[in-house]
Amino acid sequence: MALYARVEKLSEDDAEVRYKFTDIRDNERVLILDKAAERTRPEDADEDVLYRAVAMKVATAWVRDGVAPDRLLVQS
């Protein structure tokens, strides 16, 4: 199964970053990055394969660079 998602930062404050990610069918979902805990969670509580791929990409960028990226692309 192929994965594809466009990821865009919606908002950021001192505690968290909210990301919108859109799948190939243009379905929009929201991922929340907790900066202090360095953890992510889906707004809709659905931790499916696409969410996990997006979460890994966002969390890796945060831990590696210390900056929440504005945009990402997830594909495999």
Query: For the segment 15-61, what is each residue's pLDDT rounded down to a tens digit?
Result: 999 999 998 888 999 999 999 999 999 999 999 999 999 999 999 99
Predicted confidence (pLDDT) at residue 13 exceeds the cutoff of 80: yes
Greatest pairwise CA separation for the chain in angstroms: 36
Model pLDDT, residue 59:
94
Number of domains in the chain: 1
Predicted confidence (pLDDT) at residue 72 exceeds the cutoff of 90: yes
Range of the domain at 48: 4-75
Q: Single out the residue of 74, 56, 53 nearest to residue 64, CA to CA.
A: 56
In this structure, what token pair is assigned to residue 19?
Answer: 């990301």
pTM of the model: 0.91
